[in-house]
Amino acid sequence: MALKEKLARKKFVFTVELDPPLNMNIEYLLEDIRKYLSLTDAINITDCPLASLRMSPIALSHIIQEKVNLETIFHITCRDRNLLALKAELLGAYALGVKNILALSGDHPKMGDHPNATAVFDVDSIGLIKIIEELNRGAFSGKKISNYRTEFFTGVAVNPDFKEDSKELSRLEEKFASGANFIQTQPIFSIEVLEKFLNMTQHITIPKIIGIMPLRSTKMVDYIEKNLGHIFIPESIKSRMADAGIEEGIGLAQELIREFSTIKEVAGIHLFPMNRLEIIPKLIELNRDFDEHKDYDTVQVLTDSDTN
């Protein structure tokens, strides 16, 4: 059953974030995916994260689907491609059978290992969603082509910890209005942040998959606080991670997953293992005991007819 259908049937899902490798020999990665990710519903393949060189997410997504038979969600950013290249990449992905997308604006090249690379940004993530919806309607370069259209299933990312002066909510509303089909959030460490996010987005009636990041150490907590100010970590979690290691972080993540999964509006969990794939079974196996047809509220999945 495809991710789109699982969400339409209100089946609670688990997705996992994975950075492509630089090494061309990916057999070791495929073996780890077979070993550790067999319980996942889809694997997110990032697109040169933090503007650092990695293998093409479309190519790796296709390889994983063909060789491991696990569904993927490929990330595509507006950073490196003009309008023509974005459309060409999308058509190529569809031809390869890679139909789940996370549409992103992308980090600026100055952040990464090619700081002199040109930043394109012909459109942002909202413009990209509109392009994808045009392709889903069979519109190519403004012309409708009969009997041919794509069937992409488009996700968007959001920082759920809305601030008073944040434009994040209005951008999420515009992404929804432009045709987004599901949401994957940045990591959440607080039930209060999650409840506030769900309350403020009740009118955005698409599945919300909530981000969980297992912490590894106090050093990791400090790094997040210093460099990722949009992610809030409560004092109680900081205290538990003081002088603790990844096992405590896994335990905390398990607790959050259990708590978050009881909330009806939560359609699933998106895991950020930071490429430590061996921890994934510990986070999923103990949380597959709830009803597969969990009746989460105010959720709608756009069908093909909805995209016309």
**Residue-level pLDDT, tens digit, the chain, 308 residues:** 999 999 999 999 999 999 999 887 899 999 999 999 999 999 999 998 888 989 999 999 999 999 999 999 999 999 999 999 999 999 999 999 999 999 999 888 888 889 999 889 999 999 999 999 999 999 877 677 666 899 999 999 999 998 766 789 999 999 999 999 999 999 999 999 999 999 999 999 999 999 999 999 999 999 999 888 789 999 999 999 999 999 999 999 999 999 999 999 999 999 999 989 999 999 998 666 544 434 444 333 333 323 23
The tokens of 203 are what? 């009118």
Q: Phi first, then psi: give them for residue 210, nearest 5 degrees.
A: -95, 130
Q: What is the pLDDT of residue 293?
A: 39
Answer yes or no: are the C-beta atoms of 198 and 160 closer than 8 Å.
no
Q: What is the pLDDT of residue 146?
A: 63
118 lies in a domain? Answer: yes
- DSSP labels, 127-188: HHHHHHHHHHTTEETTEE-TT-----EEEEEE--S--TT-SHHHHHHHHHHHT--EEEEEE-
Q: What is the dihedral of CA 306, 157, 67, 276, to 10 degrees?
A: -160
303 lies in a domain? Answer: yes
200 lies in a domain? Answer: yes
Helix axes 125-136, 168-178, angle to 10 degrees: 10
DSSP E strand boundaries for 188-244: 208-212
4 lies in a domain? Answer: no
Q: How far apart are CA 189 and CA 255, in angstroms?
A: 10
Q: How far apart are CA 97 and CA 70, in angstroms?
A: 12
Q: Phi first, then psi: give them for residue 178, nearest 5 degrees.
A: -80, -15
Rounded to a whole number of angstroms, the CA Rg of the chain reads 19
Residue 244, domain CATH: 3.20.20.220
Q: What is the pLDDT of residue 113?
A: 83
1 lies in a domain? Answer: no
Answer yes or no: are the C-beta atoms of 206 and 300 closer than 8 Å.
yes
The tokens of 40 are what? 């996942």
Give the pairing of strands 208-212 and 182-187: parallel
Answer yes or no: are the C-beta atoms of 43 and 33 closer than 8 Å.
yes
101 lies in a domain? Answer: yes
Number of domains in the chain: 1
Answer yes or no: are the C-beta atoms of 281 and 253 closer than 8 Å.
no
270 lies in a domain? Answer: yes
Q: What is the pLDDT of residue 50?
A: 84
Return the SS3 of 121: coil
Q: What is the pLDDT of residue 269?
A: 98
CA 33-37-43 angle, 5° bins? 85
81 lies in a domain? Answer: yes
Could you tell me the residue range of the domain that residue 106 belongs to?
Answer: 9-307
Stated pTM of the model:
0.91
Q: What is the pLDDT of residue 90?
A: 96
Q: Phi first, then psi: give them for residue 293, nearest 5 degrees.
A: -105, 45
Q: Which residues contact 47 (CB under 8 A, 6 or more apart)?
A: 54, 57, 74, 75, 76, 77, 104, 106
The tokens of 48 are what? 């040169």
Q: What is the pLDDT of residue 165?
A: 64
Which helix (H) or strand (E) segment is 66 a member of? helix 57-67
Q: How far apart are CA 50 and CA 150, in angstroms?
A: 29
